[in-house]
Amino acid sequence: MANFITILRIVASPVFVLFMIRSNENPAYRYLALAVFIFGSLTDWADGFIARKTNTVTRFGIVADPLADRIFIGTALVTLYAMRILPFVFMVVVLGRDLIMALGYPFIGKLDRDTVAVHWTGKVATAILFVALTCLVLSSAPHDGARFGFEGFKFSDVLEWQTYGLWLFVVGMFWSIVSGIIYVSRTVFLLYSGTRGRF
């Protein structure tokens, strides 16, 4: 059941893209995209919860769950950037952090997973970014953000969802970077300690 929910999160990604693209023509699709995004966000919690409660943690789930997360979040970030709702730098920071995390998975398999467990800063970052992305999905057209700068983005319009989404995204990026630093430093320390122990 947990693995099926994980697969649903991957399937939800192209559906989200389709609804967001259509939202430029019909605002009603924006709410459909929001529903898909919230659904995908909930599956991120549900699959792990069900796997632990039913004691059905599988090797497929261990690999597929973080992959599904990266696909789902990455798809949302690229879509919002392409629609000029999210600044380029914001997208690169979060995707870059996720890429570093993904590159670390092979090394984690050689270490004690409990020692390099998800830090609370990572959970905070994920929660804030999900809320930020929810606000950005609700951003009303037209979207006039620059491709590589910050011109055209609504950082100060209190009547726009985009304003709240962008500032929440800034906070989420901060915690995302902090969690990434903690994750990398723990991994490097453990790998270094393990190497020294062999000599």
**Per-residue pLDDT tens over the stretch 135-163:** 999 998 888 889 998 999 999 999 899 99
Residues 163 and 195 placed together within one structural domain of the fold: yes
Residues 93 and 174 placed together within one structural domain of the fold: yes
- Domain extent, residue 138, equals 86-199
Residue 110 has pLDDT above 60, yes or no: no
Rounded to whole angstroms, how far apart are CA atoms 55 and 78? 35
125: part of which helix (H) or strand (E)? helix 120-137
φ, ψ of residue 198 to 5 degrees: the values are -85, -10
- pLDDT band of residue 47 (cuts 50, 70, 90) is low
- Give the residue with greater pLDDT, 99 vs 130: 130
Residue 7 has pLDDT above 90, yes or no: no
Q: Of 68, 83, 98, which residue is a domain's last?
A: 83
**Cβ(156)–Cβ(77) below 8 Å:** no
- In the chain, the percentage of residues whose pLDDT exceeds 90 is 37
Structure tokens at 17: 């893209």
Residues 127 and 53 placed together within one structural domain of the fold: no
Closest by CA to 161, choosing from 74, 86, 53, is 86
| Averaged pLDDT score across all residues of the chain | 81
**Cβ(168)–Cβ(128) below 8 Å:** yes
Residues 183 and 104 placed together within one structural domain of the fold: yes
Greatest extent of the chain over all pairs of C-alpha atoms, in Å: 65
Structure tokens at 70: 């990266």
Residues 145 and 62 placed together within one structural domain of the fold: no
Minimum mean pLDDT among 20-34, 47-61, 78-92, 121-135: which range? Answer: 47-61
Angle at 43 between CA 40 and CA 46, to 5 degrees: 165
Q: Of 29, 60, 83, which residue is a domain's last?
A: 83
Residues 45 and 68 placed together within one structural domain of the fold: yes
Residues 108 and 171 placed together within one structural domain of the fold: yes
Q: Of 83, 112, 142, which residue is a domain's last?
A: 83
- pLDDT band of residue 19 (cuts 50, 70, 90) is very high
Residues 143 and 181 placed together within one structural domain of the fold: yes
**Cβ(20)–Cβ(34) below 8 Å:** no
60-74: average pLDDT: 75
* Helix and strand totals (H; E) in the chain: 6, 0
- pLDDT band of residue 117 (cuts 50, 70, 90) is low
